[in-house]
Amino acid sequence: MVPVEFYFVLSALLFFIGVYGFISRRNLIAMLISVELILNAVEINFAAFNRLLFPGQFEGFFMSLFGIGVAAAETAVAIAIIINVYRNFSSDNVDSIQNMKR
């Protein structure tokens, strides 16, 4: 059985890889992908906390499950916004978007 520290270190590494990507990329879709990495790191942590520290309960399990659902919805809306931004500005670079409306 894997010690719980390994899960913590893995999720911390994944989280900060996502943070690095969010800061260093300027493309909207690449930033969204980095956010997905961050969300996955958080969900690993929830599941590992629940399974290895409080095995009789289900709080972390359901938090991960609802987190997956919320992430899917968030992605759908964000991609709709990105497609619309591209339609209006002909660019998907964050720096080129100054106003909400052209």
Partner 1 sequence: MANSIMFVILAVVILGSAILCVTTTKIMRAATFLLFVLFGVAGLYFLLDYTFLGAAQISIYAGGVTMLYVFAIQLVGKRSLQGLVERVKGSRVIFGSILALVGLVTVCFVLLKNEFLFAAANQPDAEVPMNVIGHALVGADRFQYVLPFEFISLFLLACIIGGLAIARKEEK
Least distance in angstroms from the C-beta of 77 to partner 1:
5
HSE-up (13 A, CA, CB side) for residue 87:
6
- Nearest-5° Cα angle at 92, 84 to 21: 125
Reference 79, options 43, 42, 31, 46; nearest CA is: 31
Closer residue to partner 1 (CB): 2 or 98: 2
3-state secondary structure of 57: coil
Q: How far is the CB of 20 from partner 1 (least distance, A)?
A: 4
- What number of chain residues touch partner 1 (CB under 8 A)? 72
Binding residues for partner 1 restricted to 32-71, rule: CB under 8 A: 32-34, 36-37, 40, 43-44, 47-49, 51-55, 57-59, 61-62, 64-66, 68-71
Asked if residue 96 binds partner 1 (CB under 8 A), the reply is no
